[in-house]
């Protein structure tokens, strides 16, 4: 990744207005974004081409989207840390959603669908099948065997799943889940602009029953748990903060409290492969065991971590478009489900 111009160190504290994306981005970065656009556009978007290109150029100007080859399973350095970028800062998202709100008011645009409509549709329908399988006591994954549930039965199953979408952005994934039959839906985002946009779009599109709340997942104020927690691109953004590795640890601590026992977490990422996400969960589970065995750990923390491993791998989407590179097949987006113990 080249040529990122960072805002001044204390910019998040000293700003009297959220910077527009154009304040933070150099011309060089824009041309990187234009190159990166071809990767993202393969998954489509809701905007017309010219508008889409302009918006995506801004959003992608940090060049965080990897070249196709980086997603193959034989990456040269699979453990290389993702470089920080502006997409890890709240000021970036506040500015982005200020632009998207203006676009919504002027042109009625819904804003960016991260990873595109095709991925969003796959995530929603795959998650629905997974939840039905779990409701019926099948845990092997959603792609096995023919299903014969009646519409009423499916509706009954899905209405029992409380759903939280972390880093919901414009909330369109929740609208898609509502179309699939889920009815108990909540979306959170730390950017007020995102929540404002999500509410307006939900009202416009006839989904006023979806709850939207401003909440930072790393310091969540939510005091309830959810059977299904979705994350499409939020962990990716969190990992791009300058303190990304630490923030990712905080993320897992927080998310493990938000997913109800027996519930599931479905993460969609363009920065981590399925294997990397599974490894990250293993590390989190190991850390909890380590904490429970450390004599220095306070008693209450020890008791909390004496529980069984928080998450275990359940299933992953296998139907994304794949490509061949260096003799291996890979996909640019991964969606993985974990079961909460
Ligand atoms: C790549 S966008 C994805 C938006 C949406 N999920 C989608 O798929 O279109 C990442 C989102 O995560 C939100 N986000 C980043 N860090 C967050 C945090 N700590 N707490 C809550 N939301 C966060 C951003 O504001 C942004 O809306």
User: Which residues span the domain enclosing 83?
Assistant: 16-107
Q: Return the best residue to mutate from 61, 94, 167, 233 for the ligand 1 pocket (most ligand atoms within 8 A of CB).
A: 167
Same domain, 332 and 205: yes
Residue 113 pLDDT grade (very low, low, confident, very high; cuts 50, 70, 90): very high
Q: Total domain count for the chain?
A: 2
Weakest-pLDDT range from 69-73, 135-139, 152-156, 315-319: 69-73
Residue nearest to atom 27 of ligand 1 (CA): 169
Answer yes or no: is the C-beta of 244 below 6 A from any ligand 1 atom.
no
Q: What's the CA-to-centroid distance between 241 and ligand 1, angstroms?
A: 12
268-282 pLDDT tens trace: 999 999 999 999 999
With 0-12 CB in 10 A as exposed, 13-18 as middle and 19+ as buried, what is 130? buried
Same domain, 152 and 258: yes
Nearest atom (ligand 1) to Cα of 165: 6
Same domain, 97 and 135: no
In a domain, 3, yes or no: no
| Average pLDDT score over the chain | 77
Same domain, 313 and 208: yes
Distance of CA 47 to the CA centre of its chain: 21
In a domain, 11, yes or no: no
Q: What's the CA-to-centroid distance between 189 and ligand 1, angstroms?
A: 6
Distance of CA 156 to the CA centre of its chain: 27
Answer yes or no: is the C-beta of 97 below 6 A from any ligand 1 atom.
no
Same domain, 85 and 147: no
In a domain, 2, yes or no: no
Whichever domain contains 193, its CATH number is 3.40.50.150
The pLDDT score that the predictor gives to residue 21 is: 40
Q: What's the CA-to-centroid distance between 113 and ligand 1, angstroms?
A: 11
Question: Which pTM value belongs to this model?
Answer: 0.77
Is residue 159 predicted with pLDDT exceeding 80?
A: yes
In a domain, 101, yes or no: yes
Q: What's the angle, vertex CA 91, arms to CA 88 and CA 96, rounded to 5? A: 90
Is residue 10 predicted with pLDDT exceeding 70?
A: no
Is residue 219 predicted with pLDDT exceeding 70?
A: yes
Per-residue pLDDT averaged across 201-210, rounded? 98
Is residue 81 predicted with pLDDT exceeding 80?
A: no
Among residues 80, 107, 134, which one ends one of the domains? 107
Answer yes or no: is the C-beta of 169 below 6 A from any ligand 1 atom.
yes
Nearest atom (ligand 1) to Cα of 241: 16
Cα separation, 281 vs 278, whole angstroms? 5
The pLDDT score that the predictor gives to residue 137 is: 84
Cα dihedral angle (85, 91, 96, 98), rounded to 10 degrees?
A: -170
Same domain, 292 and 275: yes
Among residues 48, 72, 107, which one ends one of the domains? 107
Answer yes or no: is the C-beta of 238 below 6 A from any ligand 1 atom.
yes
Same domain, 94 and 149: no
Q: What's the CA-to-centroid distance between 73 and ligand 1, angstroms?
A: 26
Between the alpha carbon of residue 126 and those of residues 133, 138, 245, 286, the distances in Å are 11, 14, 29, 29
């Amino acid at each position: 990744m080249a040529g990122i111009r960072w805002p001044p160190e204390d910019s998040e504290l000293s700003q009297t207005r959220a910077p527009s994306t154009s304040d933070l981005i150099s011309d060089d970065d824009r041309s990187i974004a234009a190159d990166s656009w071809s990767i993202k556009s393969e998954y489509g978007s809701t905007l017309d081409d010219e508008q889409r290109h302009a918006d995506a150029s801004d959003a992608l100007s940090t060049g965080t989207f990897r070249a196709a080859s980086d997603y193959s399973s034989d990456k040269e350095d699979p453990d290389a840390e993702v470089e920080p970028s502006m997409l890890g800062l709240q000021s970036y998202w506040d500015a982005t959603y200020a632009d998207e709100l203006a676009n919504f008011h002027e042109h009625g645009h819904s804003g960016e669908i991260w990873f595109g409509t095709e991925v969003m549709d796959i995530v929603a329908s795959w998650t629905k099948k997974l939840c039905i399988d779990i409701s019926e006591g099948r845990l092997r994954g959603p792609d096995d065997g023919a299903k014969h549930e009646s519409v009423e039965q499916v509706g009954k199953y899905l209405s029992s799943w409380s759903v939280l979408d972390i880093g919901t952005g414009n909330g369109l994934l929740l609208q898609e889940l509502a179309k699939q039959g889920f009815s108990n839906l909540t979306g959170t985002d730390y950017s007020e602009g995102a929540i404002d946009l999500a509410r307006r779009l939900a009202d416009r599109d006839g989904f006023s029953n979806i709850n939207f709340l401003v909440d930072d997942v790393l310091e969540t104020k939510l005091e309830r748990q959810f059977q299904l927690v979705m994350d499409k691109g939020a962990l990716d953004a969190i990992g791009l903060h300058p303190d990304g590795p630490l923030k990712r640890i905080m993320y897992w601590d927080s998310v493990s409290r938000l997913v109800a026992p027996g519930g599931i977490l479905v993460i969609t990422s363009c920065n981590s492969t399925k294997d990397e996400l599974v490894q990250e969960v293993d590390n989190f589970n190991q850390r909890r065991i380590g904490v429970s065995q450390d004599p220095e750990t306070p008693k209450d923390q020890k008791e909390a971590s004496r529980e069984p491993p928080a998450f275990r791998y359940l299933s992953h989407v296998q139907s994304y478009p794949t490509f061949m590179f260096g003799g291996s097949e890979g996909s640019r987006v991964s969606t993985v489900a974990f079961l909460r113990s």
